[in-house]
């Protein structure tokens, strides 16, 4: 009787705990208009001429589960032929950030928290952009954040401190990158050191586009920086399919090189809405990233020699799905953190070489696999 009584008390208190945990900050999001997803036939060939690395900043399996649920059980991402898991710790912290985590993806080495394109001692590391250029390929970056943010800087700049915003952009001028799309215009030409980085880029032979329309209509070849926004790109509802269009424009330009190209595309602001614990905007960013993945995979399938790798640098927000309805496209979820959390993140691959991205891997392995497949 005593045992039964304590069992009942335990059972009751567990029940209370579970339901109160679920009710804490529980948010609901419904996607009114789901989008169509098509099956993409993967190319048959083995040759890897180009690699497109797509990073969902802060995107875990829960983000994908939630997005999949609200889009009625389908995502473009599901066209991936291979799925693996990436372990993300920094050298000095279990839970990493976009500086350290992104540097491992960009340069193949573990580094310290908040470091960008450097090892823990501050020594600059070469990124896939640098290796691609040295091999005679073209290289580019398209992001929805400010260009001084950690992920683009992991590939284009070097600093032990990701918060050195203006220094990071000045250092970026030394990259041989061919195509850059992102926000952050204000620290190109309103700088404490008085430099005008747009003018410097023009002197180096870059076309500088201050609107997306200029990039789209006036740039047919050559090197380009397109920086249409002072800080980040507008909200997903306002900017529409800008990331997909900018990515495809970048691919069109980079693909003119007969030696092939490397490109990094980031769904940057998933991370922001994870930090802000805003489920609605987080879902819109995740779905925008998925539609961009679809456009990129469709291009890669037509090309036949392009590998697409999709992953994340870390998880943000501790997002947990507690319920929902596939028929109505509704998800109920909450956040357990305003920061990053320590789950492994998924890796997806599509196209020739995709089979290399299964099983457990370190985030650094993703770099080494890409480097090997592109013969850099």
Which residues here bind Zn ion, judged by CB under 5 A? Answer: 271, 316
Residue 305: CB minimum distance to Zn ion, A:
34
Residue 143: CB minimum distance to Zn ion, A:
14
Residue 272: CB minimum distance to Zn ion, A:
8
Distance CA 166, CA 17 (A): 47
Q: Which is nearer to Zn ion, 271 or 288 (CB)?
A: 271
Residue 62: CB minimum distance to Zn ion, A:
15
Q: Which is nearer to Zn ion, 198 or 276 (CB)?
A: 276
Residue 271: CB minimum distance to Zn ion, A:
4
Q: Which is nearer to Zn ion, 157 or 356 (CB)?
A: 157
Residue nearest to Zn ion (CB): 271
115 neighbors 99 (Cβ within 8 angstroms): yes
Q: Which is nearer to Zn ion, 75 or 95 (CB)?
A: 95
Residue 310: CB minimum distance to Zn ion, A:
18
Q: Which is nearer to Zn ion, 233 or 356 (CB)?
A: 233
Helix pair angle (242-254, 279-303), 10° resolution = 30
Q: Which is nearer to Zn ion, 338 or 372 (CB)?
A: 338
Residue 145: CB minimum distance to Zn ion, A:
10
Residue 349: CB minimum distance to Zn ion, A:
24
Distance CA 165, CA 169 (A): 7
Q: Which is nearer to Zn ion, 111 or 316 (CB)?
A: 316
> Beta strands 261-267 and 138-146: pairing type?
parallel
Q: Which is nearer to Zn ion, 56 or 260 (CB)?
A: 56
As a whole number of Å, the CA-based R_g of the chain is 21
Residue 118: CB minimum distance to Zn ion, A:
19
Q: Which is nearer to Zn ion, 51 or 282 (CB)?
A: 282
Q: Which is nearer to Zn ion, 22 or 336 (CB)?
A: 336
3-state secondary structure the chain: CHHHHHHHHHHHHHHHHHHHHHHCCCEEEECCCCCCCCCCCCCCCCCCCEEEEEEECCCCHHHHHHHHHHCCCCCHHHHCCEEEEEECCCCCCCCCCHHHHHHHHHHCCCCCCCCECECCCCCECCCHHHHHHHCCCEEEEEEEEECCCHHHHHHHCCECCCCCHHHHHHHHCCCCCCEEEEECCHHHHCCCCCCCHHHHHHHCCCEEECCHHHHHHHCCCCCEEEEEECCCCCCHHHHCCHHHHHHHHHHHHHCCCCCCEEEEEEECCHHHHHHCCCHHHHHHHHHHHHHHHHHHHHHHHHHCCEEEEEECCCEECCCEEEEEECCCCEEEEECCCCCEECCCEEEEEECCCHHHHCEEEEHHHHHHHHHHHCCC
Residue 208: CB minimum distance to Zn ion, A:
29
> Beta strands 345-350 and 82-87: pairing type?
antiparallel
């Amino acid at each position: 009787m005593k045992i039964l009584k304590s069992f009942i008390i335990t059972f009751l208190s567990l029940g209370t705990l579970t339901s109160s945990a679920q009710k804490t900050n529980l948010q609901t999001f419904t996607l009114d208009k789901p989008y169509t997803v098509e099956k993409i036939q993967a190319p048959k060939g083995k040759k890897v001429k180009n690699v497109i690395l797509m990073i969902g900043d802060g995107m875990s399996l829960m983000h994908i589960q939630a997005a999949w649920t609200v889009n009625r059980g389908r995502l473009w991402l599901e066209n991936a032929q291979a799925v693996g898991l990436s372990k993300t710790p920094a050298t000095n912290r279990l839970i990493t950030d976009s500086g350290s985590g992104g540097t491992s993806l960009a340069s193949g080495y573990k580094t310290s928290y908040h470091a960008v394109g450097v090892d823990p001692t501050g020594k600059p590391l070469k990124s896939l952009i640098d290796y691609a250029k040295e091999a005679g390929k073209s290289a580019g970056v398209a992001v929805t954040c400010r260009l001084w943010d950690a992920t683009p800087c992991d590939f284009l700049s070097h600093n032990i401190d990701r918060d050195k915003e203006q220094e990071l952009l000045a250092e970026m001028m030394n990259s041989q990158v061919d195509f850059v799309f992102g926000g952050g215009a204000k620290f190109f030409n309103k700088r404490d050191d008085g430099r005008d980085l747009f003018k410097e880029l023009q002197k180096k032979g870059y076309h500088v586009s201050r609107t997306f329309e200029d990039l789209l209509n006036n740039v047919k070849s050559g090197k380009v920086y397109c920086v249409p926004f002072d800080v980040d790109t507008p909200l997903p509802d306002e900017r529409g399919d800008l990331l997909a269009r900018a990515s495809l424009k970048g691919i069109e330009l980079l693909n003119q090189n007969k030696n092939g190209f490397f490109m990094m595309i980031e769904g940057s602001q998933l991370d922001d809405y994870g930090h802000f614990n805003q489920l609605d905007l987080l879902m819109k960013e995740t779905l925008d990233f998925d539609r961009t993945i679809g456009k990129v995979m469709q291009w890669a399938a037509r090309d036949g020699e392009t590998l697409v790798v999709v992953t994340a640098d870390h998880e943000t927000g501790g997002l947990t799905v507690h319920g929902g309805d596939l028929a109505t496209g509704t998800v109920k979820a909450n956040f357990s953190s305003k920061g990053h959390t320590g789950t492994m993140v998924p890796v997806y691959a599509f196209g020739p070489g995709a089979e290399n991205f299964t099983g457990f891997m370190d985030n650094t392995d993703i770099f080494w696999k890409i480097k090997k497949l592109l013969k850099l």
